[in-house]
Amino acid sequence: MGEFELIRRFFAAAPCAQAAEGVALGIGDDCALLQLPAGEQLAVSTDTLVVGVHFPASADPFLLGQRALAVAASDLAAMGATPLGFTLAITLPQADEAWLQGFARGLSQMAGGCGLALVGGDTTRGPLSLTVTVFGRVPAGRALTRSGARPGDLLCVGGALGDGAGALPLVLGQRQATDAAAEHLLQRYWAPQPQLGLGLLLRGKATAALDVSDGLLADCGHIARASAVALHIELARVPMSPALQAIAGATAADCALAGGDDYVLAFTLPPEHLAAVQAAWPATVVIGRALAGAGVTLLDDSGAVIQPPRAGYQHFGSSGD
C-alpha cells in the first residue's frame, strides 16, 4: 500500500476528516485553510508521542488514537480556545491495515468528542511516532495564559489528579489488576477528556491557566515563574480519586503531585469568581493560593512546608529539577 492510498483509506475517509465549521479547505491540497471570525486569534499547539517513550509498542491502536489527540487538544482547553481542526504527522514501521483501522477509529472518536476536524498531515516510514498539531480560535486578548496570576488569587484544579500516573504500572505491565479501580485508571490514561468546556468558562475569570501534563508541582511552577508570584499548595486539598488511592496506596499523593498525564486544568482565580465557576464546573477544587514571592511551596495540615520527593517529569534532565 502506498502513502497516498494509506491516507485516502484510513484518514481522508475517516469521520473526523469530513467538512466542519471553520474549515474552508481540508485534506487534499498542499495546505488546509481555516476560517476565523473577525476579531479572533488562532491558537496552535503541537504534541509528539514516540513509541518506547510515551507508549509501549504493544499499545492498542484504538486507545492510542484517542490519547494522541486528547493530549494535544488539552492545550486548547488550557488557552480557553474553541477547537477548529488538527493535523497528524505519523511515522510507521509498516502499513498494517488492522492497526491503521483501529488507530483511525480511536482518532475519530476523540475528534468527535472534542469538536476537531482532521485537516491534513503527513506519513512516512520509520519507528512509530505520532505528531498532532491542533488549531483553535479565541477572541483577541481573551486567551488564558500562564502569566496573569496575582497575589490573593485562589489556586484551583478542574478535577482529580494522579490517575494517569497511577495507571502507568498497569499500562507497562508492571502490575496486574482487573477490578473497577484499575479500569477507571486505564480509562483516564488512554482516553483523557480535555477540559474544553472549563477552558471556555474561565475566559474573563481566571488570571492564569495551564493543563497538568508534567505533574502538578512542575506545572504550577510554570505559572509561578511566568506570573512572578508564589503558589502555596495545601496537600490535604489536592483531589485524588478513590481508584487512585486503592491502586497506588501510599504513593497516591506522589502520583497526584508529580506524576503528570492528568490533562486537568490548573488555574488561578480571583475569589469573587469561585462560586460561579464551581456552579458551572462542580469538579473545581481550591488547592491553595497565590502570594507575593516566588516558586511553589507544598504545605501539610499544620501549614508546615513539605519537601516533595520529586517535582515532575522532564524529557531532558532529572525529574526533580
Q: How far apart are the first and last CA of the chain?
A: 46
Q: Cα separation of 269 and 259, whole Å?
A: 24
The span from the CA of 2 to the CA of 14, in Å, is: 18
Query: What stretches of the chain adopt beta strand conformation (E)?
Result: 23-25, 33-34, 40-50, 82-92, 117-125, 129-139, 154-157, 208-211, 230-234, 265-269, 285-291, 295-299, 305-306
- Quick one: cell of 133? 498539531
Q: Are 268 and 202 in contact (CB under 8 A)?
A: no
Planar angle of CA 68, 213, 26, nearest 5 degrees? 35
Give the residue from 252, 78, 44 showing the smallest Cα distance to 157: 78
Question: With the C-alpha atoms ordered 286, 287, 291, 295, is the resulting torsion angle positive or negative?
Answer: negative
For the chain, list residues with pLDDT below 50.
Answer: 315-321
Comma-separated ranges of CATH 3.90.650.10 domains in the chain: 154-306
Tell me which CATH code domain 154-306 carries.
3.90.650.10
CB-based contact 48:88 (threshold 8 Å)? no
CA angle, corner 75, sides to 238 and 321, nearest 5? 60
Q: What is the pLDDT of residue 316?
A: 38
8-state DSSP, 113:
H
> 112-139: per-residue pLDDT in tens?
999 999 999 899 999 999 999 999 999 9
Q: Which three cell numbers stand for residue 205?
A: 475569570
Range(s) within the chain of domains with CATH label 3.30.1330.10: 3-139
pLDDT for position 1: 63
298 CB-contact burial (10 Å; exposed 0-12 / middle 13-18 / buried 19+): buried
pTM over 0.95: no
Look at residue 15 and give its three-state secondary structure.
helix
Predicted local distance difference test score (pLDDT) of residue 204: 96
**234-293 pLDDT tens trace:** 999 999 999 999 999 999 999 999 998 999 999 999 999 999 999 999 999 999 999 999
Distance separating alpha carbons of residues 74 and 43, to the nearest angstrom: 12
Q: CATH for 3-139? A: 3.30.1330.10
